[in-house]
Structure 1
């Protein structure tokens, strides 16, 4: 077999050539390159069986190299070297099916272990190569056909009636019986339980690969179906009921452990009761509903007929008076910390079910809405942004999501109340909105909405602060803009009226004369500047 070493650091290449007994791994030829361009030229002259490549190089990265090679259907081994760990590099390496990811300075034993792993993988691929192309295509197609069948069963695309399922089995030439009993094994990972650096598609691919590798000895790939519902990644696995349940539970524990260790996420596993093919879609729906209601029992294996044990003998009630006082005092940190402690205590006592979490959310909103109403702030406008709306949608799904929503709500509420209490700040923001949008068809309500206040309350604050109504200030600003245009441009009176935000020339002329004492034509004639 042939190996290619790619590293811009020449001493590193020489050290690798010297410390590894290449013959021991069946490698008879080692080529070297110090940049990606030279490596590609060597590659075109003859594909190596294994590539060992530094990630960070000045004239092209290792990620560029593996992408280039994989785009050319290269199926050989790939080992990455790097000077420091990088989550971004690691996730991309996974997506391009790299064998290993080693951090410099290299440990000889780790390097040899990586080489051994790559060689074993290559040998398996060579054994597979002994099958004919037709045979390989059939094997791949068989898994795809079977996965498509199970996906249709689980989503109820196929009718649950036995004779229709049997007809579909025969049509797709699958070797399975509709009377066999199955266990549905569901692996769930909410989006909030994975690190935000992950790209969703790459994470989904990595999760499915990890599950497949753990179960592959007993479960065919055609029976592992990956899908996504809203913000939750699922893998549904169809298991024949005759399987060793001890092995299955151990595998589930291993999936949770490996997800936490390698994918940095929290996976939860659910097992259904035994059912025939016709009952699988209903079972899937029930497991998804169970997962949706799971607030505090994540990262565990849940067996059938073992419900979550919540202590709900006494329902929790949020201390509304306390939280109202903290909001009045504008103690953002104390509000969030107190709420977090309440949830942690309820979790430790197994008292936090989905109903309790929802009731806490409603009580918390009651405090917020009451305070906003006192300050004439319109909540539906204050919380209308996309970020807040996205947090609202997920607030009841987990403690983590609830706290993200509560913290964002607290920040917006306290900051808005502070701005209202500092009326000068509100008026200045309203003025700025008028100045930036005076050309538009603005109403008093539009200006009030821009600062999250009711129109009546803004009118009162604005009048007290400026001595003008909102409409008077708007017209005054428009006339100031029009005066400058009359002096500096050659546009017609009608064009200037429209540009300044007036609907008609007559109304523009009326307002202009009222505020300046002369008509627009007379003003231009008097002040025209020769440029």
Structure 2
């Protein structure tokens, strides 16, 4: 380590004596500067880093005391030594008060000067090391301050992900070892932030940008200047904000709900995503893992709260109070082609579920199963294959996604109904007139069907339809309708316990006697005889 020396004296011979009287290289003095007045000295200070100054007290253009006072203010690392011809104690007192290294009388003894300069070099060296240590300390302190949020978030992530033991002693050790500015006795409030969907599918780069945006919005809206702001990413769509307990005191729900509401609104508006916040219970650091697990279960169970704030203390909706057996009505609507009605009615029903406090996951799963069963029944009636109609809508991934939330279920229901309706209309367009006639008769076999009813359905004149049907099938419309009704009647008589009167009603005959007469003329047995014969035959087979 090398040092620079400045000699300030108006007597040239005194300066030369000092220059030559000491072996400065032995003291690591690499350069000696000379000034004959205060102005020259200040100029040298302006251009060079002076470590040691040897200065005369009395000079014509200003005293050494004046120069030393300036040096003490402007160059605090410099050590000063006074030389003077006067032994006046007042000078010595002033020099000492200004922090000079020593006060020496002329003519100076060079071995004493050497010893004093040696002391000055040592002090300057100590100051340099102290300065370097201070700068390094400031650097590492700044580095730690910069990375502290990352360390905090990693700690909380490990706690909630169970990589960090939740035993209180292990938590305390982890906080101490990582020098985190929280204590194991501090209380925190976890808030699960669930991104339910983005308006557009994000690529990895956009995903990172949106994560940064969500984090910044949380800094500005949720914490609002709080020193510690852990925003922990648990997955692509799950984040946890760890709030200090002072945000969870008296009336904390009323205080927190509008804040989180503002956060959700900002995310809706600026980031085009649906997002909900689930507020957990307050707890100590070692309790946060359990609190997080409860929030995950609540998120999985509460499926009708979109863009909303949900508190752990809220009651979940009662499954038994929800009517999910609406499918028979909707099946009839499909069979009758009442497509607009079923779209409207199903949307209204699902909207009614939105009004419940908290909708359990099993309700949506039960609804989905019943709805699929209704669709499959309709496809079977139409002799369609479900995969041809619905495609990927019945894949395991899509069905799993459909019950993630009420909004997802609404989207799925509308999509499956739209596909079903579109397929049905396309099938109708591809049907021949005869197919449409037979399909209409099959769907209305339980009613009294007239030729006029059928002709209106296929948009043909009744007389023309009759001639066309006879030509294509070899049967008249009346004969075909009668055969269809009798087929159903025989199945009901042989396979059910319905009374003959009920069987008659099921195939569109309100007059029991007339039905029996028609049945006998067709089957050569009255209904009771047929039932007895059919069951006897079935018994012999077994």
Bucket of the pairwise TM-score, normalised by the shorter protein: 0.3 to 0.5
Between structure 1 and structure 2, the one with the greater Rg is 2
TM-score, normalising length: structure 2: 0.47
